[in-house]
Amino acid sequence: MENDSGKTYFQFAESVHESLKKFREFYDFVYGHDYNMTQTSATSPSGWDVTRKYIVTASSCTINPTGHKSGDIYRYDDINGTWVCAGVSYESATGWARANVYELAGTGSTLGIPAALDSIKANFITGIKKYVDVNDIAFH
């Protein structure tokens, strides 16, 4: 026999799950469109500021020696104390997903990083409307 409190709890849990899923989508969107990054030609994170993300323009990088491409983005992982790929998804077997400024922007490397960052910014301005009412006074 099922009681009303069990149904209410399940409905509440389902509602919380959906809310968290939407918040995660919003968070991933904002994180993926963060265009406040530092460009570097360094192939090693020696001396990098752990509070910033870095776009590595070199053709190789010690952080991801086998899968690095010019334009890849890296961030500092506070939990593990290491530099990692700056993607939003994580796989236990491979770690954080690769993120590349040109791939995120949908531009080619021939246009350069400033054009890619401008594209990311423009995509953010358009895409944020899916999550936030930009005309709402609380947004400004």
CA 131, 132, 133, 135 dihedral sign is negative
* Residue 49 within a domain: yes
Structure tokens at 47: 């001396």
Vertex 74, ends 110 and 84: CA angle to 5°? 145
Rg (CA), the chain: 19
pLDDT tens, 19-78? 788 888 888 888 888 877 999 999 999 999 999 999 999 999 999 999 999 999 999 999
Q: 96 lies in which domain range?
A: 35-128
pLDDT of residue 99: 94
pLDDT at 7: 60
User: Considering only CA atoms, which of 53, 82, 55, 52 is closest in space to residue 68?
Assistant: 55
User: Is 73 among the domain residues?
Assistant: yes
Query: Do the domain assignments include residue 18?
Result: no
Number of domains in the chain: 1
Q: What is the DSSP letter of 100?
A: B
Give the residue-averaged pLDDT of 78-103.
93
Residue 76, in any domain of the structure:
yes
- pLDDT-derived band at 138 (thresholds 50, 70, 90) equals low
The percent of residues above 70 in pLDDT, for the chain, comes to 89
Position 138 in a domain = no
Asked if residue 27 is part of any domain, the answer here is no
Which one, of 75, 80, 49, 50, lies nearest residue 61 by Cα? 75
22, 91, 12, 15: CA torsion to nearest 10: 20
**Residue 101 belongs to some domain of the structure:** yes
Evaluate whether residue 46 is within a structural domain: yes
Is the pTM higher than 0.85?
Answer: no
